[in-house]
Structure 1
Amino acid sequence: MRNFSIIILFFLVGCASKETFQTQFPIPISDYFYQIKGNQTHFVIVFQQSISEDIKLEKLYFRNQTEEIKLISAQKVEAVFIKPDLILDANPENEYGNQPPIPQKQQFQLNSNEAVLEFTQNGKIKHYKFTNVTEKSNK
């Protein structure tokens, strides 16, 4: 009986640790990219049609950061990641106000050119993974 319990435990742990991503987003995506503007990184997603009401875009995970999604238009959304301003000075006393980075456990293991969009569809939380994310100039 004990061996059976151990086998069940390994099975449950193995199944729980794998994140499954949606292979296709419910709305066709025409473009996605990021732009750097000062200390901000703007991740933009452009859809081919308006976002339906049964889909609620929640968060975007990108480069060890998480941000809420903001609606720009009926077909365009963005997440803005802000780097805190740091005071750098030859005199360490002038750097007193700098806050040390707070490491956060990330939900996903992503490469620097990958992002994950968390969304809710019909009350279920789902994830879609972007690959080959590119930077576009902000001109």
Structure 2
Amino acid sequence: MKNVLRLTAGIFMLVLFASCGSNKDLQERAPAQFNEVYYTYNSNGIQLYVPVASIQDQRVSLDAVYFHGMKSPLKKSEERANLYVANFRMGTGEMVMDADPEKEYGNKPPQLKEESPYAIDDDEAILVFTQDEKTKYYKLTGIVEKE
């Protein structure tokens, strides 16, 4: 009887701890109102633009985004209000190759791949945001390429 009780308590504790770490459910409701999300290619890689129509700054913080197999922090644009930008380095820019390693010092390596916690298509991204001090995820869809 004691063994059954210990086994039951052990399974309960295991389930309890496992459920705490897997709170990565996709949110159905957007943390803000978004305009058309788009991306462009430049000499360094990809820039993803997330225009926000309205957001509750005191409750919601847009932190990062997963896109095209990489993760990048979202930064608020200094030029345009309510525009967030993520930069993904592809390593396609000019690189200095020389026998002298000191001349190669300024080269930036391409960004490492980082899998999204959810399966996404090429026109989708996973937005990582903080709301009421909890990390949450939202899927952005219909992302288009602009020139």
Q: TM-score, normalised by structure 1?
A: 0.70
- Matching residue's letter, 1:123: E
Say how many residue pairs are matched: 132
In the other structure, the counterpart of 2:82 is 75
**How far 1:86 moved relative to its partner?**
8.1
Kindly indicate whether the alpha-carbon contact (under 8 Å) linking 1:43 and 1:80 is maintained by their aligned counterparts in 2: yes
Which blocks of at least 5 consecutive residues in structure 1 are unaligned?
A: 88-93
CA distance in 2: counterparts of 1:111 and 1:125, whole angstroms: 19
Decide which moves more: 17-26 or 58-67.
17-26
Q: Given the superposition, is the C-alpha separation of residues 100 and 43 from structure 1 closer, same or farther in structure 2, using an over 3 Å criterion?
A: closer
Post-superposition CA distance 1:91-126 (Å, at most 9, x none) = xxx8x9799978666351433423111122232222
In the other structure, the counterpart of 1:45 is 50
Post-superposition CA distance 1:6-27 (Å, at most 9, x none) = 5322564366446202111232
Q: Given the superposition, is the C-alpha separation of residues 46 and 101 from structure 1 closer, same or farther in structure 2, using an over 3 Å criterion?
A: closer
CA distance in 1: counterparts of 2:19 and 2:131, whole angstroms: 26
Kindly indicate whether the alpha-carbon contact (under 8 Å) linking 2:36 and 2:51 is maintained by their aligned counterparts in 1: yes
Kindly indicate whether the alpha-carbon contact (under 8 Å) linking 1:117 and 1:127 is maintained by their aligned counterparts in 2: yes
Percent of aligned positions with the same letter in both sequences?
A: 25
Decide which moves more: 24-33 or 46-55.
46-55
In the other structure, the counterpart of 1:90 is none
CA distance in 2: counterparts of 1:100 and 1:44, whole angstroms: 22
CA distance in 2: counterparts of 1:10 and 1:27, whole angstroms: 33
In the other structure, the counterpart of 2:119 is 110
Kindly indicate whether the alpha-carbon contact (under 8 Å) linking 1:51 and 1:74 is maintained by their aligned counterparts in 2: no
Q: CA RMSD in A?
A: 3.4
Kindly indicate whether the alpha-carbon contact (under 8 Å) linking 1:50 and 1:74 is maintained by their aligned counterparts in 2: no
Which blocks of at least 5 consecutive residues in structure 2 are unaligned?
A: none
**How far 1:2 moved relative to its partner?**
4.2
Pick the structure with greater CA Rg: 2
**How far 1:77 moved relative to its partner?**
0.9
Q: Given the superposition, is the C-alpha separation of residues 50 and 123 from structure 1 closer, same or farther in structure 2, using an over 3 Å criterion?
A: closer
- Matching residue's letter, 2:119: L
- Matching residue's letter, 2:64: K
